[in-house]
Amino acid sequence: MYAVVRDPIDPRALERVVRAGDGGVATFFGIVRETADDGRPVSGLWYEAFDAMAIREFETIASEVRERFGDVSLAIVHRVGELRVGEISVAVLAAAAHRAAAFDACRYAIDQLKNRAAIWKQERYSDGDAAWKEAPRH
């Protein structure tokens, strides 16, 4: 399950990738915070994406996850458009037979997504200002 969506992300929908033999499930939710890294109050975020490119990158990341961590089932969903403080902007779920693979796969997937996917974020501040943010490089 790989998607770029415009509506709120339903965390429960990601669970459909969990299989009967999976004993470990790790999830990550990126939530819009009320304060920017520099301390300014945030009123929300705006995300834009090249949907087809982003989804292809999600699929590539999933392939890498399976090469690195074994039989892992993965869901990646990123929201675009206007998001308010407290809303989920990105969700990753990794399911595997054991917890270590699920945790490792989940972290790898979100780190790679942030660095590689064709998704751009603009922070919107309470004072009316806005700034496009570059993805952190790990």
- For the chain, the structural domain boundaries read 2-9+26-125
> Model confidence over 76-112: pLDDT tens digits?
999 999 999 999 999 999 999 999 999 999 999 999 9
Q: To 10 degrees, what angle do helices 99-116 and 51-69 make?
A: 150
pLDDT score at 95:
98
How far apart are the two ends of the chain, measured CA to CA in Å? 25
Q: What is the mean pLDDT of the chain?
A: 96
The CB-side HSE value for 138 (13 A sphere, CA atoms) comes to: 10
Cα–Cα distance for residue pair 48/2, rounded to 1 Å: 16
pLDDT score at 134:
82
For tokens 């945030």, the residue is 42
- Pick the residue with more confidence: 134 or 34? 34
> Model confidence over 110-132: pLDDT tens digits?
999 999 999 999 999 999 999 99
The predicted model scores a pTM of: 0.94
Q: Are 113 and 57 in contact (CB under 8 A)?
A: yes
As its CATH architecture, domain 2-9+26-125 has: Alpha-Beta Complex (3.90)
